[in-house]
Amino acid sequence: MDADSARLLAAGISMGVGSIGPALGLGMLISKALESIARQPEVSGDIRVNMFIGIGVTEAVALYAFVVALILIFVA
């Protein structure tokens, strides 16, 4: 395997493997938030705001993988 193909392979793997954790995390986060909204609809506003904060923080992990993939393809 030459350096270029190793680089492209690493980019694909980093994006694919790096998405597993955030996807699981987002699923858990949103399912729990929906569950608590269904239990207590009167505080749904608060739960939704906190859910979005959590989404932002969790999703960032996948985006780091995306940035690493971009660096591998275009910069390294």
Partner 1 sequence: MKRGRLFVILALVLLGVVVLFLLPGGESAEFDVVEEFATHPLIHLPSIGPVDLSVNKTVVYLWITFGVVCVLAFFINRGVKPVPGRFQFAMETLYELARDSIVGSVMKSGRETWFPYIAGVFFFVLISNLVGLVPLPFAEHWSLGFYAATANLYVTLSLALCTFVFTHYAGVRNNGPVAYVRNWAPASAPPVLRQLIWVIHAVSEVFRVVSLSVRLFANMLAGHAILAVFFGMALLFQNYAAAALLQGGSVLIYLFELFVAFIQAFIFAILSGVYIGGALDQEH
Contact residues for partner 1 (CB under 8 A)? 45-46, 49, 52-53, 55-57, 59-60, 63-64, 66-67, 70, 74
Looking at the Cβ atoms of 24 and 67, the one nearer to partner 1 is 67
* Measured distance CA(54)–CA(38) in Å, rounded: 18
- Residue 53 CB, nearest approach to partner 1 (Å): 6
Looking at the Cβ atoms of 1 and 74, the one nearer to partner 1 is 74
Looking at the Cβ atoms of 38 and 53, the one nearer to partner 1 is 53
* Measured distance CA(47)–CA(14) in Å, rounded: 32
Burial of 56 (0-12, 13-18, 19+ CB in 10 A): exposed
